[in-house]
């Protein structure tokens, strides 16, 4: 008879470290959640439905797009398809993190997959790049997830309340904080040619395809970035291998006969 693996004791230190390292991104996401809550009422979404969307969808860009489509009278099928396309970038995040979490049981992988966001991916990927698959890294991952989740729910609720009492909030331009947050995530990664080429390719395609329906230009931009990044990465690896081979051949030629 098979028995379930025993539950691991909670690692509060790793949870707190994950939440601490996510703190700057929490501040950037806060106005975004505030505006979503504030816009929900004018868009015709009841407060309970807005909170349920933040709790069960937990995807800022998709939630804003869903609000826009709801306000325009779009059908459920269109909303589901559009938000699915926008969130396809998370498949790229998941593929990147898979080697680090593949050994975890399903009770870990399922919630971590649900809670994966742009911000948490940036924080956790940096942790894995720095320290590798340490035994407690998934607790750090969970700490970042829970911090982002609680932050998003709290600011959605605050936005719902303020939206009724402070109507000016929807025109305050607070969404710029999210743009600044993503800039802060991407900028430190642009030190190598593959990352810089991927970012430029994605930016160019995003601008050219900005008027595509259902925000499909975002997915095209992500796809272009991936293709260019992989191509440049392969070229860089080929150059490195060629240089190593030439160095080895030169060393052999310099050896005395």
pLDDT per residue as tens digits for the range 150-207 = 999 999 999 888 877 766 665 666 556 556 655 665 666 677 787 788 888 888 988 8
Rg of the chain in Å (alpha carbons): 22
Give the residue from 187, 186, 181, 182 showing the smallest Cα distance to 27. Answer: 181
Question: DSSP states of 82-129 as a string?
Answer: HHHHHTTHHHHHHHHHHHHHTTS-HHHHHHHHHT--HHHHHHHHHHHH
C-alpha count within 13 angstroms, C-beta hemisphere, residue 150: 9
199-256 tens-digit pLDDT: 888 889 888 988 887 666 767 887 788 788 778 878 877 777 777 666 666 666 656 5
Can you tell me which residue has the tokens 């009770």?
Answer: 107
pTM of the model: 0.67
DSSP assignment string, 186-214 = HGGGTTSHHHHHHHHHHHHHHHHTTTSGG
pLDDT in tens, 69-124: 777 676 777 778 777 777 777 887 888 888 899 889 999 999 999 999 988 998 99
Residue 73 Ramachandran class (φ > 0 left, ψ -120 to 50 alpha, else beta): left
């Amino acid at each position: 008879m098979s028995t379930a693996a025993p539950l691991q004791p909670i690692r509060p230190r790793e949870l707190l470290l994950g939440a601490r390292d996510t703190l700057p991104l929490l501040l950037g996401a806060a106005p975004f959640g505030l505006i979503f809550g504030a816009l929900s009422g004018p868009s015709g979404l009841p407060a309970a439905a807005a909170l349920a969307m933040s709790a069960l969808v937990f995807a800022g860009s998709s939630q804003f797009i869903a609000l826009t489509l709801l306000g325009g009278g779009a059908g459920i099928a269109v909303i589901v398809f559009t938000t699915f396309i926008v969130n396809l970038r998370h498949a790229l995040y998941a593929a990147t993190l898979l080697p680090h979490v593949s050994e975890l049981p399903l009770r870990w992988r399922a919630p971590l997959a649900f809670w994966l966001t742009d911000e948490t991916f940036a924080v956790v990927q940096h942790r894995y790049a720095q320290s590798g698959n340490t035994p407690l890294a998934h607790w750090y991952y969970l700490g970042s997830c829970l911090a982002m989740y609680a932050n998003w729910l709290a600011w959605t609720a605050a936005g719902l309340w303020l939206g009724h009492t402070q109507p000016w909030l929807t025109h305050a331009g607070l969404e710029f904080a999210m743009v600044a947050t993503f800039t802060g995530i991407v900028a430190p990664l642009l030190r190598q040619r593959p990352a810089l080429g991927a970012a430029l390719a994605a930016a160019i395609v995003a601008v050219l395809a900005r008027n595509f329906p259902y925000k499909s230009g975002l997915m095209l931009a992500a796809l272009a970035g991936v293709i260019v990044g992989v191509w440049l990465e392969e070229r860089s690896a080929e150059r490195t291998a060629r240089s190593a081979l030439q160095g080895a051949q030169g060393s052999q030629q310099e050896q005395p006969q």
